Amino acid sequence: MIRIRRVHVLVAALAVALCVPAAGVSSGKGLPTAIGKGEGQLNLIAWEGYTQPQWVKPFEKATGCQVHAKYAGSSDEMVTLMRQGGGSQYDMVSASGDASLRLIYGKDVQPMNPNLIPGYKDFIPALQSPPHNTINGVHYGISLQWGPNTLLYNTQKVKPAPTSWASIYSPKFKGKVTVPDNPIQIADAALYLSKAKPSLAITDPYELNQTQFNAAIALLKQQKPLIKKYWALASDEIDLFKNGDAVIGASWPYQTNTLIAAKVPVKDLIPKEGATGWADTWMLSAHAKHPNCAYMWTAWVSTPKVQAEQAIYFGETPANIKACPIMNKLAPGSAAQYHCGASASYFNSIKFWKTPIAACGNGKSNCMDYTQWQQAWTQLKG
């Protein structure tokens, strides 16, 4: 158990780094003040559906930057890919909140100048300098899109319609439940417990002490016999619902959109306990070989039109408010459906993914760190 103890020390050290602003992070000096000539190429790590030909092709045509995208299935995978081969393989990554801080403190990404991104000034205020990509006023990347993880169910098989996350933990749908194969799923269990078992006093599903963490794991263990499959790929869940292997599960809106387009009777909702969610940022590798193309790409995906196209394709909410009317033009009603230009209170009701670290928000440092989350998840799946 020597190994674990060293992990504790390290994470504690990192926690100190997090509390002392800008320690270990380079300050915003030396930012480019103009975008230079394109390098002809751009290598991206992206979520599935973030680099669709619909907006990549016009970009390539306009800038001459040939886009090569690699899809990653989880934040962990993104971090790993960014570090592969000394970090010079990829120029940018569409990191979610639980990857962005790890990338910043791992010195894998470099600061970016938001003044070079015309769409930036139209972002909702909450995403201009969010804590997951801006440290002490230094912007490590430009926000992109955000959205909640939803509860997806088959409207013909699940009656009455569910209102609570309790339904994915209830034996009523034994063998017909699916949840993501991702350690961050522990936070979903914690979020449910924060309402279902107030005695545990969970305030933040990413900051769990040993007791709270054990309760979440116990809940997931009890859920395991109900699970048909832990889905690893978006298409897994689509197939499961389409072919009747699953009738209820945790999902992204992307799957809902695809299933509805295929005329499967499904619906998704944010249950009464609230939801976890993601807020994504395009981040620039510290060793990027094509920084000019990277800036051009970031500027391109921040324009209202591309923001709207991506929002509708994936089923998420654009950072740029000006995208809302375009969304409605492309798909009537979609702006309201995805809370485009949402109020601060709606935005704040979503518990965005972040990396669990030993330092709890309350000043104590007895929380379970992400390594422990990963180990617990692997052992849970067995």
Question: Of 30-38, 63-71, 137-145, 203-211, which segment contacts another protein by CB under 8 A?
Answer: 63-71
Least gap, CB of 74 to another protein (angstroms): 6
Pair of tokens at residue 180: 């993501």
Contact 151, 251 (CB under 8 A): yes
On whether the CB atoms of residues 357 and 14 are closer than 8 A, the answer is yes
Lay out the site mask for another protein across 189-228 (x = CB under 8 A, - = otherwise): -----------------------------------xx-xx
The DSSP-derived string for 123-190 is: B-GGGTS-TTTEETTEE-SEEEEEEE-EEEEETTTS-SPP-SGGGGSSGGGTT-EEEESSTTHHHHHH
Under the binding rule (CB under 8 A), the answer on residue 40 touching another protein is no
Is position 331 an interface residue for another protein (rule: CB under 8 A)?
no
Coil, strand or helix at 191: helix
Least spacing, CB of residue 225 vs another protein, in Å: 8
Binding mask 223-252 for another protein (x = CB under 8 A): -xx-xxxx-xxxxx-xxx-xxxx-------
Would you count residue 61 as binding another protein (CB under 8 A)? no
Q: Which residues pair with 154 in a beta bridge?
A: 266
Under the criterion CB under 8 A, does residue 54 sit at the interface with another protein?
no
Q: Who contacts 334 (Cβ-Cβ below 8 Å, separation ≥6)?
A: 311, 312, 327, 328, 340
**What character string, x for contact with another protein (CB under 8 A) and - otherwise, covers 10-39?**
xx--x-------------------------
Closer Cβ to another protein, 230 or 330, answer by number: 230
Q: Measure the CA–CA gap between 94 and 280, rounded to whole angstroms.
A: 6
How far apart are alpha carbons 251 and 309 in whole angstroms?
Answer: 21
Phi, psi of 248 (to 5 degrees): -150, 145
Rule CB under 8 A: choose which of 12, 28, 31, 73 binds another protein.
Answer: 73
Footprint on this chain of another protein (rule: CB under 8 A)? 2-3, 7, 10-11, 14, 43, 48-49, 68, 70-71, 73-74, 76-77, 79-80, 83-86, 88-90, 102, 105-107, 224-225, 227-230, 232-236, 238-240, 242-245, 258-259, 261-262, 264, 369-371, 374, 378-379, 381-382
